[in-house]
Structure 1
Amino acid sequence: MDMIFTIGIFTSLFFFFLLLNKKNKSLPDTVLAFWMLMVGIHLTSTYIYTEGYWEIYPHFIGITAPLPLLYGPMLYMYVVHSIKDGKKIRNNDFWHFLPVIVAYLYMFKFYFFYSAEEKSMIDNGEIDDFGTFGNVLVVAIIISAIAYTVISYRLLRRHRKLIEDNFSNDERISLGWLKSFIWGVGIIFLTVALILISRDLLGVIFPFNPEFIFYSMIVFSVLCLGYFGIRHQNIFTDNKIFKIEEDEKSSYRNSGLKEDFASLKHKELLDLMAEQKPYLEPNLNLNTMAGKLDLPLHHLSQIINQFEEQNFNDFVNKYRVEEFIQRASKDRQFSFLALALDSGFNSKSTFNSVFKKHKGVTPSKFMANYTPDP
């Protein structure tokens, strides 16, 4: 157990200083840095408690009790500012910290007006002054953690849809790693919730120390975040974070786009794709295409969705896949990767995943059985 806390404390503080001293750090870097600091403080406090130092220094009792109320809001803040690329904390963001402020205000009397002996008696259950509050705090932590996990996941899904509706190649702006991290955090929160409900509310006595489980998971999540953070450049390097604005007119109802005009523009779109082949440009996006067709963004998006029943990403990549097939059937001397890059894809991984999505098999297997039309 000591090893788990030691690894967690030093790892959290290491990432805190790493992110805080990063050159040209973004707002998500700052949010993550203070999240790591908070984890480090929480783990340190818990470690001191398990070592019995609260009995020697009772005034430390409960000092970090409301701190887990910050886990959910910090996850949400990190997700929001990762996908929106904000430059500073918004005024509305501070409301998310209100529950932890209320909790600390409620415990103000405990911190400053209870004697050391009284604090020890409360901690040992000999005085029940804060028993109800403790149960309410546990429930609030569980609700907060799970609610913010769900909200963050839904926010990321909506952002993913915006990416697919606006970009033809999304590898550089993919936040799939963040989706996996949210799932991981959600599993940790759920595990902690089950243990706390069973132990503190239902009185279940475990034959082992349940704290070892969820603190091990917390430490593991810190290590994973470090790994994925280093592996994904949008946290630890200075690459630009793409910003996507959601047009309020994106709803197709009452868009003002008449059916005849939409049909005409759809034909123009297909002619453009066939004759000029704009999909060969790897960085093609909805804004560029809308300019070529002299259409507002939301109207072009509506046309593609209604007539092709696809988002912009799938629509463009369908042409790239067919372009690759035509090139590969004629130019056998070139590698698949070279042909894929010439067809508008920007990487091998993107090409393979997109091709399999559209054709159901890998490029090599498809081409092995492909017979060109006479």
Structure 2
Amino acid sequence: MIRFGPWSTTLGLAAGFGALVAFLLWRAPGNRAAHRLLAALLLVAVLRLMPYVLGFAGAYDAWPWLSFAPFQLGLAIGPLLYLYLLRLATPALPPRWGWHLLPAALELAYLLGAFALPLGRKMAWNNHVHEPWIAPLLDVAGAVSLAAYLVLAVQLRRRYLQWLREHVSDQDARRQPWIGTTLAALGLWLLVSTGFDLYSSVVDKLNYYDRFPQYLAFSAIVLWLGLEGWRYAGHPFVQMATAVVAPPAIPAPAPSAATRDWHATAANWRAQIRDQGWWRQPGLTLADVARHLGTNENYVSRAFNLGTGQNFNAVINAMRVEAVQSRMLADHGAELLTLALDCGFSSKASFNRVFRAQAGASPSAWRAAHITKISAMAPFEATSPGPRT
């Protein structure tokens, strides 16, 4: 008899929510490849819950042929995580990316083959081969795979954040908290899974019911990933460009560092950026500036680094801070946020962080200090003696 009690219902609600979000992500516009990879990751997590949703409801007792239904695809979690983050950070997946999913495909093929066996042979295979040998091997392989792909994903995140620091002027675009959230969620998944497996192997064999807290934790992770994944589905992710081609009429120069006057080149380009007002564009990127200048990103980045000792981001934000300071002194009552947005900052938080880093004080404190200084100097200027006759 099938009966959904508190345990099966709790896990079932989490599984249903995860499946719904996966469906919505699959159909979501925007970065479809990334959305569908996240949807697949959520579905794999939901499938992991299903043996316990059904088991606690008595489905396996009522329908023993459900054994070996392909619910647990542990070898798919790590590759899907890595490919999802890679597609968020880059314009396209690399060639032959599907090879990452080959172990998961083999795991699926094994489960489908065992699922198709007659019930008697299936039970014998489970008792004499699967449980003592193959199941522990799949558990270890899944944990090792997820750990390895987490390392790759953390390295990818570091490269991506470094690229953002060098190529994007918008501080908010450089934060990307969702990537860190995804890594934390899957890291917690690995920690919980490995912890329960080690306890069962070393301390005391855990039965089906002893595993409920493990799957309750998995349910919480599914809810977390689903909520945050849908929240950030429409979030714009600046992607690392694989190549930027200069306009054909103005090929990118390639002089040696020893002969090029990088100071003069950087000064000339800074003047162009300032005069043309490109720095006022929120979210301005190194690719945008290179396109305006008719050259490539690497050359512009090298000119700023060698010619000014600053990266692109620091150069652009210095111009924005100088412009805000000038306008604050010209209009003491101007709204700070209005000045910030007019000068290219995308948010108040971004403006405050950059201004404090550049000026050593908050915008309001800097303005108050300079207004006080100007007010203190005014009486001396008003009473200064005229020229002698």
Same fold (TM over 0.5): yes
Map 1:134-213; keep pairs closer than 5 Å: 134-169=135-170, 171=172, 175-199=176-200, 201-204=201-204, 211-213=211-213
Q: Deviations over 1:161-220 (max 9, x none)?
A: 223322222545863322222122212212222221232x32435799663444233322
Aligned to 1:348: 348
After superposition, the Cα gap between the structure-2 partners of 1:310 and 1:177, relative to the gap in structure 1 and judged at 3 Å, is: farther
Q: Which runs of 5+ in 1 are unaligned?
A: none
| CA gap 1:288/1:107 in 2 versus in 1, 3 angstroms | closer
Which amino acid in 2 is paired with 1:185? Answer: L
Aligned partners of 1:271 and 1:348: how far apart in 2?
27
Corresponding residue number in structure 2 for 1:96:
100
Is this contact kept in 1: 2:34–2:84, CA < 8 A? yes
Structure 1 stretch 323-332 or stretch 6-15: which is displaced more? 323-332
SS of alignment partner, residue 11 of structure 1? helix
Deviations 1:213-238 (A, max 9, x none): 44233322332333333433xx1x4x
Q: 1:298 to 1:95 in 2, by over 3 A?
A: same
- 2:119 maps to a residue whose letter is A
Alpha-carbon spacing, 1:372–1:81, altered in 2? closer, same or farther (3 Å): farther
Separation (CA, whole Å) in 1 of partners of 2:71 and 2:190: 16
Between the aligned partners of 2:120 and 2:207, the Cα distance in structure 1 is 31
Distance 2:143 2:255 in 1: 42
Given the superposition, is the C-alpha separation of residues 339 and 29 from structure 1 closer, same or farther in structure 2, using an over 3 Å criterion? same
Alpha-carbon deviation of 1:140? 0.7
Find the counterpart in structure 2 of residue 42 from structure 1: 48
Residue 303 (str. 1) matches residue 311 (str. 2): no
The SS at the match of 1:315 is helix
**What is the Cα deviation at residue 143 of structure 1?**
0.9
Letter in 2 for 1:182: L
Structure 1 residue 69 displacement after superposition: 1.3
Match of 1:73 among 79, 87, 99: 79
Q: Is the 8 A contact 1:58 1:120 kept in 2?
A: no
Q: Are residue 60 (structure 1) and residue 66 (structure 2) matched? A: yes
Give how far 1:154 is off.
Answer: 1.7
**Residue 15 of structure 1 aligns with which residue?**
21
Shift of 1:336: 0.7
TM normalised by structure 1 equals 0.81
Q: Residues 84 and 243 of structure 1 are in contact (CA less than 8 Å); yes or no, is this contact kept in structure 2?
A: yes
- Structure 2 CA distance for partners of 1:256 and 1:325, relative to 1, 3 Å: same
CA distance in 1, matches of 2:77, 2:206: 25
The reply to whether residue 244 of structure 1 matches residue 247 of structure 2 is no
**What is the letter of the counterpart of residue 59 of structure 1?**
W
- Following TM superposition, by how much is the alpha carbon of 1:142 offset from its aligned partner in structure 2, in angstroms? 0.6
SS at match of 1:222: helix
Distance 1:48 1:13 in 2: 16
- 8 Å CA contact 2:356–2:363 kept in 1: the answer is yes
Q: Distance in 2 between matches of 1:25 and 1:310?
A: 33
Is the contact between residue 91 and residue 241 of structure 2 (CA under 8 Å) also seen in structure 1? Answer: no
Partner amino acid, structure 1, of 2:304: I
Give 2:102's aligned amino acid. L
Counterpart code for 1:145:
L
Question: For structure 1, which segment, 353-362 or 293-302, has the greater mean C-alpha deviation from structure 2 after superposition?
Answer: 353-362
Q: Larger Cα Rg: Structure 1 or Structure 2? A: 2
AA partner of residue 64 (structure 1): P
Deviations 1:113-144 (A, max 9, x none): 4x534544665xx5355522222211111111
Match of 1:111 among 101, 112, 115: 115
What are structure 2's unaligned runs of at least 5 residues?
A: 1-6, 246-253, 378-389
Q: Distance in 1 between matches of 2:285 and 2:151?
A: 30
Number of residue pairs the alignment of both structures matches: 360
Cα distance in 1 between the residues matched to 2:73 and 2:134: 15
Deviates more, 1:24-33 or 1:345-354: 24-33
Deviation at 1:59, TM superposition (A): 2.8
Q: Normalising by the residue count of structure 2, what TM-score does the alignment of the two structures yield?
A: 0.78
Which SS does the other structure have where 1:282 is aligned? Answer: coil
CA distance in 2, matches of 1:16, 1:291: 38
Matched, 1:364 2:364: yes
> Which residue of structure 1 aligns with residue 335 of structure 2?
335
- Asked if the contact 1:329/1:372 (under 8 Å) is kept, the reply is no
Check the 8 A contact 1:66/1:100 in 2, yes or no.
no
Structure 1's 109 and 345: CA in aligned 2 closer, same or farther, altered over 3 A? closer
Counterpart CA distance in 2 for 1:73 and 1:330 is: 56
For residues 219 and 290 of structure 1, what CA distance do their matches in structure 2 show?
47
Q: Is the 8 A contact 2:192 2:217 kept in 1?
A: no
Q: Which shows bigger deviation, 360-369 or 4-13?
A: 360-369
Contact kept? 2:25, 2:230, Cα under 8 Å:
no
CA RMSD of aligned residues (A): 3.4
The answer as to whether partners of 2:44 and 2:72 remain within 8 angstroms in 1 is no
Distance 1:53 1:66 in 2: 17
